[in-house]
């Protein structure tokens, strides 16, 4: 009761504010998403994501070493697949000599301590840009799960620390966990994209991988039959709990800033670490506003990352990871 309690006493100066601060951010909290393409000594900046590049494998490994030196200990890997390798089955996804598999091996050889979490989804490998196999105009769940299981096994055999199914098919975590166990990959974890919403914030990412759904007859025009309705909250908790029951070691909420209520709900419901993906559109908006002088880039970046962690994130997958680590290390 005032004046016995004056809350501003704990805000008097930076020393006391630091002493009582509830949320602390460090490079240990970050994963960095990386886009890999065929070729050598090649990199191209993604126009809608300033500072983010699609790189050849050699330059990807070089960048991973920089990230490690900054204290970033995990990377998400996504590959840009040549069009001639795409089909409706996604079979290139489990080619043991495919770009993803080569990338996993190269990173683990160069920086053994780096945690590598390759993306498990068919959209980069699909001629239709969907996360699943299409039959008669529908995304077929069970056949897709079989393909994702083969893909996950190939990642484990290449040396991945975790596999990261981002497809939102029903039952895929259980199928992947069983296959990993049966093939002796007991220590390979699963980071499941458990609450992945059908969001409009993914546009720049799809540009980076050329993985947007194609507009042809008999093919769904969007991903709303498998990604979640952004109007729903309880469904996210149900999905996360199911994935934990099926063997997920980490569950993810995606996108980030616009879904912090979901992050907190999921964090309260599960007993495993919660990861949050601050997605490409969220990154691009900050970059665009800062470029125009409307926002202070570094202050907004650090504030948003703190807010994601405060909401309950144990791990933050963010395109800001490198820039934020440089600031935090200072």
Helix, strand, or coil here: 116?
Answer: strand
Catalytic residue among 108, 196, 267, 287: 196
Helix axes 172-182, 141-158, angle to 10 degrees: 40
Report cis status (omega within 30 of 0) of the bond before 202.
no
Distance of alpha carbon 43 from alpha carbon 34, whole angstroms: 12
Helix axes 321-329, 57-69, angle to 10 degrees: 30
Catalytic residue among 80, 108, 223, 254: 254
| Torsion sign across C-alpha atoms 200, 48, 314, 73 | positive
Helix, strand, or coil here: 58?
Answer: helix
Nearest to 251 by CA among 181, 190, 178: 190
Residue 238 bears catalytic tag: no
Q: Determine if residue 102 is labeled as part of a ligand binding site.
A: no
Distance of alpha carbon 175 from alpha carbon 142, whole angstroms: 10
Residue 86 bears catalytic tag: no
Indicate the DSSP class of residue 258. Answer: G
Q: Are the beta carbons of 57 and 36 closer than 8 angstroms?
A: yes
Burial class (CB in 10 A: 0-12, 13-18, 19+), 164: buried
Distance of alpha carbon 321 from alpha carbon 302, whole angstroms: 10
| Torsion sign across C-alpha atoms 167, 173, 179, 184 | positive
Which of the residues are catalytic? 196, 254
Annotated binding site for Mg(2+): 239
Annotated binding site: 239
């Amino acid at each position: 009761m005032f004046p016995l309690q004056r809350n501003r006493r704990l805000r008097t100066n930076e020393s006391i504010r630091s002493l009582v601060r509830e949320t602390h951010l460090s490079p240990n909290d970050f994963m960095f998403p990386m886009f890999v393409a065929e070729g050598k000594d090649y990199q191209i900046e993604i126009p809608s994501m300033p500072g983010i590049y699609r790189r050849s494998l050699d330059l990807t490994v070089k960048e991973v070493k920089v990230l490690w030196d900054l204290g970033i200990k995990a990377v998400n890997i996504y590959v840009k697949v040549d069009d001639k390798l795409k089909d409706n089955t996604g079979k290139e996804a489990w080619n043991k000599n495919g770009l993803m598999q080569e990338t996993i091996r190269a990173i683990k050889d160069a920086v053994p301590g780096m945690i590598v979490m390759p993306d498990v989804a068919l959209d980069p490998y699909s001629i239709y840009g969907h996360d699943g196999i299409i039959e008669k105009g529908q995304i077929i769940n069970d056949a897709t799960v079989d393909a994702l299981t083969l893909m996950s096994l190939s990642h484990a055999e290449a040396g991945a620390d975790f596999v990261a199914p981002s497809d939102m098919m029903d039952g895929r975590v259980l199928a992947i966990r069983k296959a990993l166990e049966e093939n002796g990959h007991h220590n390979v974890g699963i980071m499941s994209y458990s609450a992945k919403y059908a969001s409009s914030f993914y546009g720049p990412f799809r540009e980076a991988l050329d993985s947007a759904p194609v507009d042809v007859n008999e093919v769904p025009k969007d991903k709303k039959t498998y990604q979640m309705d952004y109007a729903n909250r309880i469904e996210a908790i149900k999905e996360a709990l199911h994935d934990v029951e099926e063997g997920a070691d980490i569950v993810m909420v995606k996108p980030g800033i616009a879904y912090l209520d979901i992050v907190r709900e999921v964090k309260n419901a599960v007993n495993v670490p919660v990861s949050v993906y601050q997605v490409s559109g969220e990154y691009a908006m900050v970059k665009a506003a800062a470029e125009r002088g409307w926002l202070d880039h570094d202050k907004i970046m650090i504030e948003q990352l703190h807010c994601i962690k405060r909401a309950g994130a144990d791990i933050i997958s963010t395109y800001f990871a490198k820039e934020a680590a440089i600031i935090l290390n200072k």
